[in-house]
Structure 1
Amino acid sequence: MNNQQSLTILAHQTPAALERILQTMRFRGFQLLQLTTQQVLIANEYQQDDQQMLLISVTVTSNHAIHLLTHQLEKLFDVATVNVLDTQPTLEKMSNTMDIATINSRTTNVALALRS
């Protein structure tokens, strides 16, 4: 039985970041159904320049558990965060919008916050 999941990935904008992410999906046995990328600027209080990041939204399908993919994606040095989205959205969840909230210290741990 194929399981369909949606993920959002925040990654540093480097020349091969998207390639490494897609390669990891393929190696782990996940088939890509949908891919959307958006360039975002993250304000960094510790540096003068804002950081250019990629916000990647993907929908994948596989017989494998999603945590097998997310665990490997989190190991990639280009990836700041990985979030699994609920595939059974309610009306309340559909009305939420994704907002880049904060950046935390030099390690660029980025929190994605959902707000109404």
Structure 2
Amino acid sequence: MNITEITLVASHRPETLERILRTVRHRGFTVIDMRMNLESEKIWLDFTVQSAREIHLLVNQLVKLYDVIDVSADE
């Protein structure tokens, strides 16, 4: 299993966190740790995911989400 830490910045809207977590689940990843801060109408999300799948499969989908501003992944 691969464990990867992801940092994501997105616009603050009621449905944003739900959309991000749904994408993580649909792509076959499990969130094993998560921290979120709200600052200047943006959410800063640091989370760790685990999966046998390659991380680029998830990152490529996260960057397509409407409210997502930036995504970076550190293995």
CA shift, 1:82, in A, is 0.2
What is the aligned counterpart of 2:44 among 55, 70, 92? 55
CA shift, 1:20, in A, is 0.3
Would you say how many aligned residue pairs link Structure 1 and Structure 2? 75
- Relative to the length of structure 1, the TM-score reads 0.63
Q: Percent identity?
A: 37
- Over the residues paired in the alignment, what is the CA RMSD in angstroms? 0.7
1:18 corresponds to 2:7: no
Report the secondary structure of 1:75's partner residue. coil
Runs of 4+ in 1 over 2 A off after TM superposition: none
Amino acid at match of 1:6: E
Q: Structure 1 stretches of 5 or more lacking a match?
A: 42-51, 88-116
- Relative to the length of structure 2, the TM-score reads 0.97
- Using the alignment, how far apart are the partners of 2:72 and 2:23 within structure 1? 16
| Equivalent residue, structure 1, for 2:35 | 36
> Where do 1:25-104 residues align within 5 Å?
25-41=24-40, 52-85=41-74, 87=75
Q: Structure 2 stretches of 5 or more lacking a match?
A: none
Task: Pick the structure with greater CA Rg.
Answer: 1
